[in-house]
Amino acid sequence: MWKITWLVYYVTSLASFPMFCAYLLMIALSGLWQKHTSPLNLRPILVIYNLGCCLASLVACGGLTYAVYLRGDIYERKPIPFLKPFFLLYWATKQIELLDTVFMVLRHKRRQISFLHVYHHASMLLLSEIGYNSYVWSSIATIFAINSFVHVVLYLYYGLTALFPNNPPKWKKLVTQIQIAQFLIGFVIAVYGYINGFYCIYSIFYNSTMFVLFSNFYYQAYGSKSSKLKLK
């Protein structure tokens, strides 16, 4: 019980926690915005935003991967000063990426704001700060690097889609497959790390939930009969 109490205290004391609360409040009130406004055309902004996020994730991925490569151990739990600015950049990207949801609200795309979407964005906001504050390790950098690589692909796709709306890239399905693979890899790394005392059990839980949620999304979008009819 004391661990749960400590965890709640720790999370609520994070610098990102007010932003976390504001994010959830914005989603809760988004219906009022949609009811009393018209959808905005944000295509030029979305091009710059998505390609900017792609570039930031690429820099973060490169720095994190290089540091892990130099250490030669994905499970090392010693602070690495070289990693600090890349952890800060990674945390900053998770704050900026909350704009994904803001743009959905402004464009009246509330149906896209699923539990998976909110859970992923809100949790990564907090987890990225926790990593920056206390765990600038190779073991955490490994997970952050994988996620950054996925976001390079993700935001490149959405950037090109916004840039060429009449001829978007044909690899949307691949993006979700890469996201699923990310959490499957993360789950394997976390299980092995937990067995050998390198990771806490929370990492197994988080990767498990994300793997299940993304797999369900993939099935609903591409695997079910109704989704196939929609795609036709």
Q: What is the largest CA-CA distance in the chain?
A: 55
Residue 140, judged by CB atoms within 10 A of its CB (0-12, 13-18, 19+), counts as buried
Residues with Cβ within 8 Å of residue 123, at least 6 apart in sequence? 206
Cα separation, 110 vs 114, whole angstroms: 8
Closest CA to 213 of 94, 122, 100, 117: 117
3 state DSSP class of 136: coil
3-state secondary structure 182-209: HHHHHHHHHHHHHHCCCCCHHHHHHHHH
Contact between 77 and 198 under an 8 Å Cβ cutoff? The reply is yes
pLDDT-derived band of residue 8, with 50, 70 and 90 as boundaries?
confident
pLDDT-derived band of residue 3, with 50, 70 and 90 as boundaries?
low
Establish how many alpha carbons lie within 13 A of residue 166's alpha carbon, considering only the half-sphere containing its beta carbon: 0
What value does the mean pLDDT take over residues 34-63?
97
Q: What is the pTM of this model?
A: 0.92
Q: What is the mean pLDDT of the chain?
A: 92
Q: What are the boundaries of each domain within the chain?
A: 42-164+172-231
Rg (CA), the chain: 18
Cα separation, 25 vs 5, whole angstroms: 24
pLDDT-derived band of residue 200, with 50, 70 and 90 as boundaries?
confident
User: Which of 5-9, 22-26, 45-49, 90-94 is predicted with the least confidence, judged by mean pLDDT?
Assistant: 5-9
What value does the mean pLDDT take over residues 216-230?
74
* In the predicted structure, residue 165 carries a pLDDT above the cut 50: yes
**Local structure of residue 102 (DSSP, 8 states):** H
Contact between 177 and 204 under an 8 Å Cβ cutoff? The reply is no
